[in-house]
Amino acid sequence: MAKLIVLTLLGMGLALFKNHQFSYQTRLNALREVQPIELPNCNLVKGIETGSEDLEILPNGLAFISSGLQYPGIKSFNPNNPGKILLMDLNEEDPTVLELGITGSKFDLSSFNPHGISTFTDEDNAVYLLVVNHPDAKSTVELFKFQEEEKSLLHLKTIRHKLLPNLNDIVAVGPEHFYATNDHYFLDPYLRSWEMYLGLAWSYVVYYSPSEVRVVAEGLDFANGINISPDGKYVYVAELLAHKIHVYEKHANWTLTPLKSLDFNTLVDNISVDPETGDLWVGCHPNGMKVFFYDSENPPASEVYRTIVIMFNGNPFCLSLVFGY
Ligand SMILES: *[C@@H]1O[C@H](CO)[C@@H](O)[C@H](O)[C@H]1NC(C)=O
Ligand SMILES: *[C@@H]1O[C@H](CO)[C@@H](O)[C@H](O)[C@H]1NC(C)=O
Ligand SMILES: [Ca+2]
Ligand SMILES: [Ca+2]
């Protein structure tokens, strides 16, 4: 009898494990393969050998690029050097990148590890760049003022908070006000890997301002890119391992209510919003297994989706279509 029970429990355990293994593969989209596509108007921008994690374009055509991220579990092309913020002028015929100098006495350049970025322009046309930073595996938001003449960033402030433990991306809604995604719940590397492996979906979104900080969305399986519609009414959050983009309605008190979700067959990462049409341009990883288990012989691909946003009775009704690989 005892043997039968042991055997049954073992069988149940194994079935659960196989089931879990299957859902883990599904979450990573491990079986997806893509073929390269020729894009005639696509040019390699030289001078960004250390990767580009996020990109933000100002209305005047100046683009900020965050480069050199070191992130636990992801292959780094820049293991021994600090990261940087690059500037690119898209008005130029053949745009090149320039590394922005950073000024401000209190900022530690040697541990700079920039991740998601966002800009905010105030009524005096001062441009603020908010940067998720991971100095020594911690999470902070660095607030800079862009000095266009000097082509530099003046460091104003470092923001830390217990509700901002595992930041990935931010979207600024004021000079010191933003929504941010935490891609994990746990800080401890061991607990973080179990959290991801088990698919606990404890990742969440926070609203931060100097006077108020609160969780505005939760229950996400690796919250990643975040952005806002041009009219400021909707917030978009990419849920990497559920292959979804969630559309939230933003209220005057900064809380969010879920409106709808879009399904993709890819791991959705950073989201850019077209300032004129409101369409979403989404940077994605077709196969997460290849991202988390990097092999230079069989490198992970990436792809871009354009999601056309159509308003219907005042609500965003979305249609998603693939743009290219
Ligand atoms: C989006 O993020 C991924 C990595 O997380 C990166 O490979 C890609 O270049 C980023 N895309 C943009 C447009 O920032
Ligand atoms: C925020 O505003 C929304 C919509 O008006 C309301 O439903 C919600 O209860 C408010 N929440 C808080 C915490 O004030
Ligand atoms: Ca961003
Ligand atoms: Ca990201």
Compute the mean pLDDT over every residue in the chain, rounded to the nearest whole number.
91
Instruction: Select the more confidently predicted residue: 323 or 309.
Output: 309
Rounded mean pLDDT, 132-146: 96
Residue 67: predicted pLDDT? 94
Residue minimizing CA distance to atom 3 of ligand 2 = 251
Query: Which mutation among 249, 255, 257, 259 tests ligand 2's pocket best, with the greatest number of atoms within 8 A of CB?
Result: 255
**Residue 243: left (phi > 0), alpha (psi -120 to 50), or beta?**
left
Residue 319: predicted pLDDT? 66
pLDDT tens-digit readout, 268-296? 998 999 999 889 999 999 999 999 999 99
Residue 325: predicted pLDDT? 47
Handedness of CA 75, 76, 80, 82 (dihedral sign): negative
The helix or strand, by DSSP H or E, that contains position 322, with its residue range, turns out to be strand 315-324
Q: Report whether 53 belongs to an annotated binding site.
A: yes
Residue 27: pLDDT band with limits 50, 70, 90: very high
Rounded mean pLDDT, 234-261: 96
Residue 73: predicted pLDDT? 82
pLDDT over 60 (residue 102)? yes
**Which residues touch 230 (CB under 8 Å, ≥6 apart)?**
273, 274, 275, 276, 278
53 CB under 6 A from ligand 1?
Answer: yes
Look at the block and give the residue holding tokens 């990573």.
Answer: 28
Residue 92: predicted pLDDT? 92
Q: Comparing 39-43, 141-145, 296-300, which segment has the lowest mean pLDDT?
A: 39-43
Ligand 1 atom closest to 224 (CA): 5
pLDDT over 90 (residue 7)? no
Ligand 2 atom closest to 214 (CA): 13
Tokens of 189: 């590397």
Quick one: what percent of the chain has pLDDT higher than 70? 96
Ligand 1 atom closest to 54 (CA): 14
Contacts from 181-189 at CB under 8 Å and sequence distance 24+? 181/116, 181/205, 181/220, 181/223, 181/224, 181/225, 181/226, 181/237, 182/139, 182/206, 182/223, 183/222, 183/223, 183/224, 183/240, 184/222, 189/72, 189/137
Residue 322: predicted pLDDT? 59
Residue 94: predicted pLDDT? 87
pLDDT tens-digit readout, 70-98? 888 888 887 888 999 999 999 998 899 99
Residue 13: predicted pLDDT? 74
Tell me how far apart the alpha carbons of residues 72 and 225 are, in angstroms, rounded to a whole number.
18
Look at the block and give the residue holding tokens 């108007």.
Answer: 41
Residue 147: predicted pLDDT? 97
Instruction: Select the more confidently predicted residue: 69 or 313.
Output: 69
Q: Comparing 36-45, 114-123, 223-232, which segment has the lowest mean pLDDT?
A: 36-45
Q: Report whether 54 belongs to an annotated binding site.
A: yes
Rg (CA), the chain: 21
Residue 246: predicted pLDDT? 95
Residue 135: predicted pLDDT? 95
**Which residues touch 126 (CB under 8 Å, ≥6 apart)?**
145, 146
pLDDT over 80 (residue 313)? no
- List residues near ligand 2 (CB under 6 A): 251, 253, 255
Residue 11: predicted pLDDT? 73
Query: Which mutation among 214, 216, 251, 254 tests ligand 2's pocket best, with the greatest number of atoms within 8 A of CB?
Result: 251
pLDDT over 50 (residue 179)? yes
Residue 323: predicted pLDDT? 60
Residue 289: predicted pLDDT? 93
Residue 49: predicted pLDDT? 83
Residue 284: predicted pLDDT? 92
pLDDT over 90 (residue 1)? no
